[in-house]
Amino acid sequence: MEFILVQTLSGLASAASLFLVASGLSIIFGVTRIVNFAHGAFYMLGAYMAFTLTDRWTGAFGFWGAIIAASLVVAVLGALMEMVLLRRIYQAPELFQLLATFGVTLMVQDIVVLIWGPEDLMGPRAPGFTGAVTVFGRMVPSYDFLLIALGPVVLGLLWLLFHYTRWGVLVRAATQDRDMVAALGVNQKWLFTSVFALGVFLAALGGALQIPRTTVSHSMDLAIIVEVFVVVVIGGLGSVLGAFVAAIIVSELNAFGILIFPKISLILVFLVMAVVLVIRPWGLFGKPESAPRPAAGLSIRPWRPFTPAERIAVAVGVFGAAVLPFFLGNYALTVGAEILVFVLFAASLHFLMTVGGLASFGHAAYFGLGAYGAAFLVKFTGAPMEAALLVGPLMGLAGAVVFGWFCVRLSGVYFAMLTLAFAQIAWSIAFQWVDVTGGDNGMLGIWPSTWASSPRGFFWLALGIAVVGVGILRVLVFSPFGYGLRASRDSALRSEAIGIDRRSMQWVAFIVAGTFAGISGATFAFLKGSVFPDFLGIPTSVDGLVMVLLGGIETVSGAVVGAVVYKALAIWLMSQTDLSKLVLGAIIVLLVVAFPKGIVGFLEDLRYRLRPPRANGAGPKTAGYGIAKVEAAE
Amino acid sequence: MKLEVSSLNSHYGPAHILFDVGFEIGAGEVVALLGRNGAGKSTTFRSVVGLVSQRSGQIRFDGTDISRLPTYDIVRRGLGYVPEDRRIFTELTVEENFTVGRQPPREGVATWTPERIYDLFPNLGEMRRRPGGQMSGGEQQMLTIGRTLMGNPSLVLLDEPSEGLAPKIVEQMADAILTMKREGLSVVISEQNLHFAKLISDRAYIIEKGRMRFSGTMAELEANPEVRDAYLAV
Ligand SMILES: Nc1ncnc2c1ncn2[C@@H]1O[C@H](COP(=O)(O)OP(=O)(O)OP(=O)(O)O)[C@@H](O)[C@H]1O
Ligand SMILES: [Mg+2]
């Protein structure tokens, strides 16, 4: 009994920071419609900044002053990011906004290590709250009580702010109808910037308040953002009260989940989230999105089969790749095989994104599941490579069946957040279930059969798998199934009217994409001779997205080109600089802002500009993101 | 002239909607913009306040060219806009809706306070703390006009203020618009049929299929029944 009480208290204390970060995310989303992936980065920056300032300023005044000052500094940084970056992409599809803010996250990770070093840092205790209170004979840190009280206080302050200041009323009005707010003479620019600053302030405060409880580390950002996504999915995006309630639910589930499933504590949270999603897909306190925005991947030029010239080009390309082993050395061939693996991975994601209109932020889950599936077969049944390559990907398929069933119930940002959360759950299972997966040490000794064990042999194997895989995906795009999917993507209502069941179509697309990701993952396992939890990690998922974006979402061959260019670039970058995340993040941001149509899209535009088609004005628009600007009202 | 619009062309995507539309509103005038369903009345208003992004032409307000300004800036210069679908903030109370519309007082223009708006629309005074979503259509129409008046405009574009309202409320609307006129405001209303327009307007324009077809006083319009029959629903 006492134990339960103590555990409850500890859960409530954790809920405070989670609520702060999640409410910040929710407020920003409500007004700007942007899901700020960089929110975790600001949380982390808040903690680091507070660490530095509390180190300088001592005493009670110094400590609390430092916490507030740190949060304010980070809020200013957030406002700067809004002005420099986000103002350029408010009209862009959600995917671009998520990616751009993710790019910032990557950059911050390297910057933090540059400034504060890679080691975990230990902050000071809060003056006046260093001791512990005895509750039923157990010790509870007194700082926990402070945090427990803080949650409702902040909730109350936010409520006052939103109801008793003109600024707050404007924010609520803009959350409902921002165009009307502008039509009443309010400059949205500054409203957005100030809302962003407030949201980031809350995130940074959440981070700063953590320093007396936990060490400050450069992996705090991704850990919190996943939890925050889960919180807003449960509580409902845009609702502060929802963030409050869901933060408590999630923290309590974590506190007790550790007792019930010590190894895989996330399972409990996952189950609750799944139940909420089935009953109320827009969260406990959220509102259903009235008009979903056009998804990325609405093509301007209709997709078309290859022209004869392009067929020849493809054949030449494949042939050229096939003879590479006669010219390249072992290292180059291994790199080449890796690129080929990611060609299929990117193509499978591209299939889901363009044809299904679903931008997954957790596609690595199925890549990783395929890899682990193959590894389990080799390790536990002694299966040969051929069998493992055939059967292993079924685990990716199974994962896509289960996760996809939930995910396709949502769309847009909710879909993106949920796929990410599922991938993170898969990652934490691989990470925590050491007995089976080896945890962080991974599983080693997954070697290919003799005929494919030379770099040359494996390159051919990878090439065969990539060509066949991409070929099948392409056939699917032009099959009746692909047409049906695109119809349901372009107009949910219309396609339902002509009898296409959108959800099952998307589910099937999700499963197809997951299976092919699984195949590439299994191939990757044999290429590396090992599997690690990183295969399922967020960076792998985002790599896939960047490949598709780089190649050009609107194009058919974009994924292949994007994967080749990106992977080659990334491998080269890694060998050149320690700051690969900084460079990569900057590239992502630049891509989104300057080349939203990617390489292939850029080339196609160039071609159309040089030789405009005579047809009925279906030429390229200059507008960048490939969605017609939708006028607000009839 | 308070507002001068000439050779206004507007598009929605590939569709060309307004063709060289021009009109003028003098200070203190009440002018009706008449036209059938889909004639382009709302598009004209939305183009003037900058809510249609693809537009070209000259739009002068108080002598300044506003055709390239963002919406909020146009509105802040005293050009109020009341959309036809009302677009009140349903979660905000009557008072809070007014708060959103509030702008600093403007020199030489009537200054509005919530109290003055309650005088204009007594119904609203009885429900100051009610959320906009729980009001009747007529009350919402009063709210959306009051909200725009809170910006102390010198000219108001009213898009179909009588649409779907009970005759009694329509009369109240007409009275309110005449009060606004007495306060020195210029008012442009868009309407589908003549009845309501006749009650309050000095002059009228008729738009059809995106082109201006008629301009004249109400008396001239009366004298030309064939114009009315050709371009308006009777
Ligand atoms: N957002 C939009 N996108 C494309 N076309 C539009 C849009 N809004 C209006 N239109 C078209 O523009 C034309 C003019 O519409 P508008 O709303 O200006 O007419 P209206 O005179 O206000 O009609 P009503 O009396 O029905 O309000 C119509 O043909 C309409 O179909
Ligand atoms: Mg209209």
In a domain, A622, yes or no: no
> Which residues surround the ion ligand 2 when the cut-off is CB under 5 Å?
B 41-42, 84
| CATH code, domain carrying A169 | 1.10.3470
Question: A232 with A331, same domain?
Answer: no
In the prediction, which pLDDT does A146 show? 94
Torsion of CA A332, A333, A335, A339, to 10 degrees: 130
In a domain, A317, yes or no: yes
pLDDT > 90? residue B42? yes
The residue to which tokens 């850990």 are assigned = A223
Question: A530 with A427, same domain?
Answer: yes
Question: A473 with A408, same domain?
Answer: yes
Distance (Å) from the alpha carbon of B116 to chain A's nearest alpha carbon: 19
Question: A365 with A509, same domain?
Answer: yes
In the prediction, which pLDDT does A207 show? 96
A291–B contact, CB cutoff 8 A? no
In the prediction, which pLDDT does A601 show? 73
Tens of pLDDT, residue by residue over B99-132, are 999 999 998 899 999 999 999 999 999 999 999 9
In the prediction, which pLDDT does A498 show? 62
Phi (first) and psi of residue B225, to 5 degrees: -60, -25
Computed over every residue of chain B, the mean pLDDT equals: 93
Question: A327 with A258, same domain?
Answer: no
Question: A454 with A512, same domain?
Answer: yes
In a domain, A60, yes or no: yes
Average pLDDT over residues B5-26: 94
In a domain, A289, yes or no: no
In a domain, A218, yes or no: yes
In the prediction, which pLDDT does A359 show? 86
Cβ(A634) – ligand 1 distance below 6 Å: yes
In the prediction, which pLDDT does A289 show? 64
**CA A531, CA A520: separation in Å to the nearest integer?**
13
Count: domains in chain A: 2
Q: Is the ipTM of this complex over 0.85?
A: yes
In the prediction, which pLDDT does A632 show? 32
Indicate the residue of A179, A184, A617 with minimum beta-carbon distance to B151.
A184
Chain B hits for A627, Cβ within 8 Å: none
Distance (Å) from the alpha carbon of B194 to chain A's nearest alpha carbon: 23
Q: Are the beta carbons of B76 and B64 closer than 8 angstroms?
A: no
| CATH code, domain carrying B170 | 3.40.50.300
In the prediction, which pLDDT does A495 show? 61
Question: A250 with A324, same domain?
Answer: no
Question: A237 with A328, same domain?
Answer: no
Q: Which domain holds residue B177?
A: 3-231
In a domain, A627, yes or no: no
Question: A123 with A167, same domain?
Answer: yes
Fill in the DSSP letter of residue A410.
-
Put simply, the answer to whether A179 touches B96 (Cβ < 8 Å) is no
In the prediction, which pLDDT does A250 show? 92
Q: What is the token pair recorded at A23?
A: 């409410």
A50: exposed, middle or buried (C-beta count within 10 Å: 0-12, 13-18, 19+)? buried
Q: Are the beta carbons of A355 and A489 closer than 8 angstroms?
A: yes
Count: domains in chain B: 1
Instruction: Give, in order, the Cα–Cα distances in Å from B66 to each of A23, A159, A443, B62, B63.
Output: 39, 38, 67, 9, 9
Chain B hits for A185, Cβ within 8 Å: 72, 75-76, 101, 103, 151
Fill in the DSSP letter of residue A355.
I
CA of B46, closest atom in ligand 1: 18
Question: A359 with A271, same domain?
Answer: no
In the prediction, which pLDDT does A497 show? 63
In the prediction, which pLDDT does A203 show? 97
Distance (Å) from the alpha carbon of A163 to chain B's nearest alpha carbon: 9
A188–B contact, CB cutoff 8 A? yes
Cβ(B39) – ligand 1 distance below 6 Å: yes
Question: A210 with A352, same domain?
Answer: no
Q: Are the beta carbons of B77 and B62 closer than 8 angstroms?
A: yes
Put simply, the answer to whether A633 touches B85 (Cβ < 8 Å) is yes
Cβ(B156) – ligand 1 distance below 6 Å: no
Q: Which domain holds residue A574?
A: 308-610
Cβ(B83) – ligand 1 distance below 6 Å: no
**CA A328, CA A324: separation in Å to the nearest integer?**
6
Name the residue type at position A533. P
In a domain, A287, yes or no: no
pLDDT average per 10 residues of sequence, chain A (634 residues): 84 94 94 90 97 89 94 97 92 82 93 94 86 82 93 96 95 91 94 96 96 91 88 90 95 84 70 81 79 47 70 89 88 92 94 85 95 94 91 95 90 83 87 87 90 90 94 86 74 63 85 96 95 92 88 78 88 83 88 78 75 48 39 31
Residue of A nearest to B104 (CA): A185
Beta bridge partners of B12: B15
Count CA within 13 A, CB hemisphere, residue B25: 30
